[in-house]
Amino acid sequence: MSTRKTLGTRADEQIHEAIEALASDRGLSKSDAVDLSIITGLEHLGYDRARSSPAVRILKHAAVGMFHVGATLVVLSALTSISFAFAGAMVGLASMLTVIIADVVVPRFEPGISNALPRLVRYG
């Protein structure tokens, strides 16, 4: 059983109000609301080998897109040339491989991958 330690910080009024709203909405104490916020934030950022890190979310969105492309190619093969079926199957397999990478490989290297994303991708 792990021991719990006190963690102190300063926050502005807006954060205090949000924590109080979270506590009242969920029926929690303020301490439990802060704990829930920290845990959720750390998981979102990719710490604690979370499955909801930015890198995992990006890969899963890509996998869904690939699945739709593969399904479209298979449908096109029924309407036109059968050669589209092979391409659709390969894209479908790539989609499944991407999900496996997102669920198995990426969590082993988090939070390093999610922390590197801003350096790899320029937003805006």
Q: Where are the domains of the chain?
A: 13-45, 51-120
Longest dimension (CA), the chain: 66
- For range 93-120, the mean pLDDT: 88
Which tens digits make up the pLDDT trace of 48-106? Answer: 655 678 888 889 999 999 999 999 999 999 889 888 999 999 999 999 999 999 999 98
Q: Which of 54, 61, 65 is nearest to 109 (CA)?
A: 54
The amino acid occupying position 37 is S
